Structure formats: C-alpha cells, structure tokens
C-alpha cells in the first residue's frame, strides 16, 4: 500500500509540468516496489534455483 509521504516524495521529483499518464505510471511503479518489499519482508519469495525451475517448466 502506498503512503502519503511516499507519494509526496515522488511528486517532488516531478517537473512543474507533467502528464497524468506519467504520474499514474510512477504511482503504479511505486506501488509494485512497495508490494515487493512487503513480500520480501514476509518471506513470500522463492530462491533463484526455484525460479529457474519454474521458468524451465513454463518454456516447455
């Protein structure tokens, strides 16, 4: 979940003029990063070898 402070921090890096599309893309990216961090903190990750195994299975 995004926090107000993270959104504000991100907005301060934007130029004075920007498109809504740029803002939405940045918020989606920020949300995905936050979710990934939360998953890692909660142990919801897989090892490199497990990832390689899954990729091999998908590519068949």
DSSP secondary structure string, the chain?
Answer: ---HHHHHHHHTTS-SS--HHHHHHHHHHHHHHHHHHHHHHTT----HHHHHHHHHHHT-
Q: How confident is the model at residue 60 (pLDDT cuts 50, 70, 90)?
A: confident
Q: What is the pLDDT of residues 39-56, one digit of tens each?
A: 999 999 999 999 999 999
Q: Do residues 29 and 4 touch, judged by C-beta distance below 8 A? A: no
* Residue ranges per structural domain of the chain: 4-58
Q: Is the pTM of this model over 0.85?
A: no
């Amino acid at each position: 979940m995004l926090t107000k402070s993270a959104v504000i921090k991100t907005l301060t890096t934007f130029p004075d003029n920007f498109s809504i599309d740029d803002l939405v893309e940045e918020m989606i990216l920020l949300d995905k990063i936050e979710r990934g961090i939360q998953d890692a903190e909660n142990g919801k990750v897989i090892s490199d070898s497990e990832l390689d195994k899954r990729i091999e299975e998908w590519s068949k």
